[in-house]
Amino acid sequence: MSTHAPPHAPHGPGVTRSVTLPATLDEAVAALTAMPAAIPVAGGTDLMAAVNAGQLRPAALVGLGRISEIRGWEYQDGHGILGAGLTHARMGRPDFAALFPALAAAARAAGPPQTRNAGTLGGNVVTAAPAGDTLPVLAALEATLIVAGPGGSRREMPVSQLLSGREMLRPGEVVGHLRVPLLHAPQTFLKATGRTGPSRATASAAVVLDPARRGVRCAIGAVAPMPLRPLEAEQWVASLIDWSAVRVRGAVALAPEALSAFGEYVAMACIPDSEADPDTGQAPALPPAVQHLRRTVAALARRALGRALA
């Protein structure tokens, strides 16, 4: 492990005094435990934006960029064990996309090239921004986090628990890996933005098929603080799919009307109507911008499932 103090840095309050560069996960945990005010930094794309905006003044940083054990992936018991240090650029490459197509599509959509070269999977998850592109995919895949803690400990938690704030990282803990099922089945990710070119999602949709269980898993991103799973719509549409026709050339796995109805069902579940007025019993109309967002969600969900089935 190496530690650098900026040579001419003034040591006043609110100034970063040291940057530690551990070579292993356990060294990173030890450094964070020894310096409770220190913050881990991976690609720095979110963290430095917060520093530059004056929202954060870390007293010390523990850089994760030299930890080789979290920069790749391996297979274990039908799962992919993905390093938290995988960059978006790396996840976008064809070998990764062949195994985790929706995650690769999300990584390719996550900002401009310089951001994708530095930004990591772990950083995307821990920042937990509503528009984080990998988050709906991880929610649909029902991924879990493998967290490294003091004394060489490892614990797992569903990604959804961290995103919903039900479970937090404890002092000294670092996300080391993510456990993602290898389904060998169609998976899609689609994203809508407010303008052309790389930008944050206004809405996104991930669809994962699980033919072995005859299941459809869908998650909608960016319309709420965390990805939303329309569970009833998933179960309803899974019962209508002709699973023997999925990805069979010339076959129709799902009637077009059912596909459209799935989009509407998902959109209604994620963006429900306003509450009815207790006096009149009437629900006020949704504002035009919200109606537009609902139509966007319906289109994304319909197209994402349509592409997964075709």
Ligand X SMILES: Cc1cc2nc3c(=O)[nH]c(=O)nc-3n(C[C@H](O)[C@H](O)[C@H](O)COP(=O)(O)OP(=O)(O)OC[C@H]3O[C@@H](n4cnc5c(N)ncnc54)[C@H](O)[C@@H]3O)c2cc1C
**Where do contacts with ligand X occur on this chain (CB under 6 A)?**
39-47, 49, 64, 84, 110-112, 115, 118-120, 122-124, 126-127, 132-133, 169, 174-175, 200
Return the number of other C-beta atoms located less than 10 Å from residue 165's C-beta.
10
> Could you give the angle at the alpha carbon of 179 between the alpha carbons of 129 and 127, nearest 5°?
15
Whether 57 contacts 15, CB under 8 Å: yes
CB of 178 to ligand X, least distance (A): 10
CB of 238 to ligand X, least distance (A): 28
Q: Which tokens in the block code for residue 188?
A: 């899609």
Residues contacting residue 178 through CB under 8 Å, at least 6 positions apart: 81, 82, 84, 121, 122, 125, 138, 143, 144, 145, 146, 159
Q: Which is nearer to ligand X, 44 or 263 (CB)?
A: 44
Which residue carries 């356990």 as its tokens? 26
How many contiguous H segments (helices) and E segments (strands) does the chain have?
A: 12, 12
Give the Å distances, CA to CA, from 284 to 245, 265, 280, 291, 298. Answer: 42, 20, 10, 12, 21
Whether 64 contacts 126, CB under 8 Å: no
What residue is closest to ligand X based on CB? 123
- CA–CA separation, 66 and 184 (whole Å): 31
Strand partners, 157: 145
Return the number of other C-beta atoms located less than 10 Å from residue 125's C-beta.
20
- CA–CA separation, 80 and 96 (whole Å): 10
Q: Which is nearer to ligand X, 199 or 260 (CB)?
A: 199
CB of 43 to ligand X, least distance (A): 3
Give the Å distances, CA to CA, from 32 to 103, 234, 235. Answer: 29, 41, 44
CB of 260 to ligand X, least distance (A): 28
Q: Which is nearer to ligand X, 111 or 211 (CB)?
A: 111
Would you mind telling me the total number of residues written for the chain in this entry?
Answer: 310
CB of 159 to ligand X, least distance (A): 13
- CA–CA separation, 14 and 57 (whole Å): 5
Q: Which is nearer to ligand X, 185 or 192 (CB)?
A: 192
CB of 174 to ligand X, least distance (A): 4
Q: Which is nearer to ligand X, 105 or 233 (CB)?
A: 105
CB of 244 to ligand X, least distance (A): 36
Q: Which is nearer to ligand X, 80 or 132 (CB)?
A: 132
CB of 301 to ligand X, least distance (A): 19
- Per DSSP, 160 falls in state H
Q: Which is nearer to ligand X, 63 or 230 (CB)?
A: 63
Q: Which is nearer to ligand X, 36 or 287 (CB)?
A: 36
Strand partners, 149: 153
